[in-house]
Structure 1
């Protein structure tokens, strides 16, 4: 594909012409037609919050109600539902995580899985008194880390990274010691899209005997991950962003095989029992990754995820990542050429090697601008106090769509729509 260089002329025509050329050269552009694309949505740049649904999912949900649920009823538990959390995890691991089977499951919410794995990790390092985390991480991560630290009598050593960048290996190294039980970070910053050096940080933590937990919510399905090769211990991620699982779709947990039977997770429900139907007086934990299950898994909610995994397998995660880089380059180039003179500042890394799949654009009037854009069917994301996140989901986002959104954004700023 051609590089996403800045438009040569400061006009919407130049930008749209370039977008058309990029779309024509895009090897995965054909997959966009498989998503539900209502005419009321002029441009959707919020795939980093909630991905579009696939057309096939509409049909699959109806078929599920008629057959697996409506006809087979309770028999479906014996015909596949019991294995759905781990089978879904294995598919997700192979398609997006770079992980071998038997280490990933789909169940619970991101919040619940974070709690389970953080609690298990610090319990596996008795005598160690510190957790390393950062102040710019997503609120849920920070809240749970602080809560577990309070419960366990630990101290959180907080890194305060540059909000426009993210946590570096050097910053992590400066806080690591023999007291460190866990390092817990996001792979891609939810604000700036900074892509942390996962292999290097993981290796540094291991040198001090600490475990590492990565939040993959903004990288799973859009960044080419290699968890096994990097020696990652633990990871959690959602499935409703770039994995298009739908609102409230279940999250996933990755636990390296070597750790599974040495960790003790705190929510011991019946589904994580070695014999779920024994109904005995005591909890006997299931071996392997099943031991991290708790209650009845959301079977119906896993269906959209499988449809998206079908698509990712067909497109290939490497091609998805390549288009992601070009999309973010395109937005950055437009911002520099067209929006910077209007006071817009790019708050995402310039280097594609350390940038995820969204671009943060800041302006004092961005809150009002985004509200105005939503009324026109152009849907980016706003993050206080002054940030617009352009979330670019490569399989469903076209370059023409981005050009349209940037044209509308510029128009709103020029005409004082925000005032």
Structure 2
């Protein structure tokens, strides 16, 4: 390390602990969007944003924003942050670390006595995780101007999404186009949620892209019959057929993984009908989650699924399809140089998970850095990241923001 760090691990740790205390009883750590616990977490963040010298507001998309005004009002805004909502029984770092480290960047710049030319905005995006309304990345989609209008009518627990957004301070009636103008860049810190950095003994990963995510629903139709009286060689067992298909999916995905680009395919949702011990399964429905760095890999895999052959009747239907997103090359270079300036070894990597940065990339240059998580675990109570790694990330982001701020228009990479 070439110098002492200005970023404070004590401040980061205290804020992580403060939010971790706000969780559903006996469910570490559960603070789902649109819940009372989420509201309490937002109250905590509002207070911490304010005590960190930020001007606090909530935009029409329900995103909490802390602003550190720059010297030149025409220079635009550099935005950093992530999300504070969790999955049920999730971890204390997924998303949360990105918001807290972003706040620490603002405090670090203050300690350094740095006045930026640009505005600096710290953001807590609304509902990055799949919400009670069955959709995700609500806040970043809204900020980018791509939140589907019909989502506002989705209902859960007696209210629709529009009302739920109003309840957290948003204004869905004003959602028309991007909510932020003149954004210079967006930077997001996140735990890796995988084992690569820990395996390689590295503290920092610079994300080059976020995989595309597609989901295909497969229906297998057989014939329900009596489990005791129907001979084994006279059955049309939908579950047996489905198991063959799952095996084919696994084998084909592994073959694609060996071709040098990130690719995964997972059958994570499975339903059997009539689902009775004494009835031969007559129908199976499964959902295949496909994640690909290269769009051509995803397209080829989906085409193969739609034409998969089996003795039973098989139908495959594309449910959703989001293209991969490349992170900005110029911002990647700035982040790499910031890490190198601290003597920190790092690597480039693809994100196999979705993030708010994918939607922010639609309206401004965007980039991400990862820190390792213990045993690659995430979305579970055991999720853990070292404070030392998060402090290092805050220092790198602070240096990157200063370098980005010093660049003049027309010099972007």
TM over 0.5: no
Structure 1 or 2: more helix by fraction: 1
TM-score tier, shorter chain, comes to under 0.3
Structure 1 or 2: more strand by fraction: 2
Q: Which has the larger radius of gyration?
A: 2
